[in-house]
Structure 1
């Protein structure tokens, strides 16, 4: 069981790293000064690919923490 959880943990680590690197930065650059960052696409990010990446990152981070705690227990 411990070997299986370690393999899953390593896979989660690799996928989480890749997804974090694939995301865009949160800063809007100089466009934020003039309000250009508040476009239609900026307001509907939860439906875009970027929004999905944020949700996947959140779930993988939670899974990462849970697996790290479980693997740290001495059972």
Structure 2
């Protein structure tokens, strides 16, 4: 019973995470822009504001929750 609940939450969390990632605006075009945009965000030169900040924090939270639920599903509840 608990495994079914955790797996259902895992699927819902994955769908929410996909939606959050798709809704985020791109920093730059192309592969080189993606690499430099990630580096700028990592080192704090470019801070997200407004809806981008909300989407970024939501992505971090759902990513962490995805990891925890996957761990529970695979190792604890089996």
TM-score exceeds 0.5:
yes
- From 21, 43, 66, give the equivalent of 1:64: 66
Structure with bigger helix share is 2
Report the count of equivalent residues: 61
TM-score, scaled relative to structure 1: 0.71
Runs (4+) of structure 1 exceeding 4 A deviation are: none
1:10-54: CA deviation from partner (whole Å, max 9, x where unpaired): 0000010011001011228xxxxxxxxxxxxxx663x40110000
Structure of greater Rg: 1
Pair 2,58 (structure 1): closer, same or farther in 2 beyond 3 Å: same
Where do 5+ consecutive residues of structure 2 fail to align?
Answer: 30-45
Residue 16 (structure 2) pairs with residue 15 (structure 1): yes
